[in-house]
Amino acid sequence: MNVKRNPIAYLGEEYERLVREGLAWEPRELQGPNKPISVFDGREVLVLCSNNYLNLSTHPKVVEAMLEATKKYGAGAGSDRSIAGDTTLHRELDRRLAEFKDAPASLTFQTGFMTNQGVLAQLGGKGDLYVSDELNHGSIIDGIRLTKADRAIFKHKDVDDLARVMKEAATHQPAYNHIWIVTDGVFSMDGDLAPLPEIADIAAKYGAGVYVDDAHGEGVLGKGGRGIVNHFGLTRDQIHAEMGTFSKAFGIVGGHISGSKELIKFSMNKTRTWLLSGAVPPSVAAATIAAIDVMESDSRRVERVWENREYFLDKMKALGFDTGHSETPIVPIMCGDSKTAKELADFVWGEGIYVLPIVYPMVARNLARIRVQLCSEHTKAQLDAGIEAFKKGGKKVGLI
């Protein structure tokens, strides 16, 4: 049978559908360093949508550490860490990070996504159960999908529903070998916090492990930005695996898993994303160590993030904006439908403010929003400019 067809035609067709429905993702071009005032698409704008919470990506000590490590170690590690690319700097980062997180041990990965995808794919298997918050990050969802473990979902932050799921799991036959409760620490679309102490209590009742993704909590929560486990005063006997990323408050790139020495040895020997991927350049490890140095010596950066968050949030609420359930420097400006969110983002872009509309399918159709993220180096004058732009735009689109 001689069938003539284009085997990839459907890719273009699917993209065209996304464009028609207003769902296509078209990032703007950053043409310089990521700072509170940056150049995107040829325009100098105030950036209110960056993960760079502590503005460490341009800190002189971090930049200098990266340059010096490149001169000493070269541009790349030349191999996977599991083979011949495990440099002195990678090992030093693991050690320094464990100290910073007050954990027995840490293991660093190439990205946060790869950490979740790799570790979760191995922690559970046939005869095990993952219990996951319904709004967990896609990297958690993908990691769990790679296993043969059973999975159950509990309603967002609903500890009563979690208790129900765990009670049912306890009667499963045959009995589960291992149960892991998995949750984001800070939920990235709403900026709300997981009820981690209550989750830990329920886990202890049923002998389950707790795995928390602290990507948006590190550098923001806890003493000196040590994260959500520190924030709630929990122990490593209560929270068994704490994942994080260096692409946000640390200002660089990479990920990690922190916890017991047994967890780290297990991950080193079982996690494919660590075993089978090239090591991050030594310069990245050095810059991350330098970022830890800054966080340990300059607590004012973390304090300024929260000062800016409180200032912005209070002003926006006073104007009549719905800021959702924010408990962190992630502040959603709830818009309802996707069209309104996009119109508001376009308007404030015209005013010199860069923010992103978060629309379906990233959130439910009626829960579109602008996601604002506050950083330590935003000035009050800059925040006032952003607030004024939102005030004009909010009136124009009928939100206030």
Q: So which residues are the catalytic ones?
A: 188, 216, 248
Q: Are strands 356-358 and 179-184 parallel, antiparallel or unpaired?
A: unpaired
In 3D space, the residue among 190, 259, 260, 261 whose CA is nearest the CA of residue 227 turns out to be: 259
Is residue 208 within 8 Å of residue 167, measured between CB atoms?
no
Q: Which two tokens stand for residue 340?
A: 């309104």
Q: Residue 188 — left, alpha, or beta (φ > 0 → left; ψ -120 to 50 → alpha)? A: alpha
SS3 content of the chain, % helix, strand, coil (to 5): 45, 15, 40
CA distance 316 to 332: 10
| Count of CA atoms in the C-beta half-sphere (13 A) of 229 | 26
Taking the CA atoms of residue 197, residue 199, residue 203 and residue 205 in that order, the dihedral angle to the nearest 10 degrees is 70
CA distance 266 to 178: 15
Q: At what angle do helices 138-145 and 112-123 cross, to 10 degrees?
A: 30
H runs (alpha helix) in the chain = 9-20, 60-73, 88-101, 112-123, 138-145, 159-170, 196-206, 228-231, 261-270, 272-275, 282-297, 300-319, 338-350, 380-397
Taking the CA atoms of residue 380, residue 230, residue 142 and residue 78 in that order, the dihedral angle to the nearest 10 degrees is 90
Q: Which two tokens stand for residue 399?
A: 């939100």
Is residue 114 within 8 Å of residue 255, measured between CB atoms?
yes
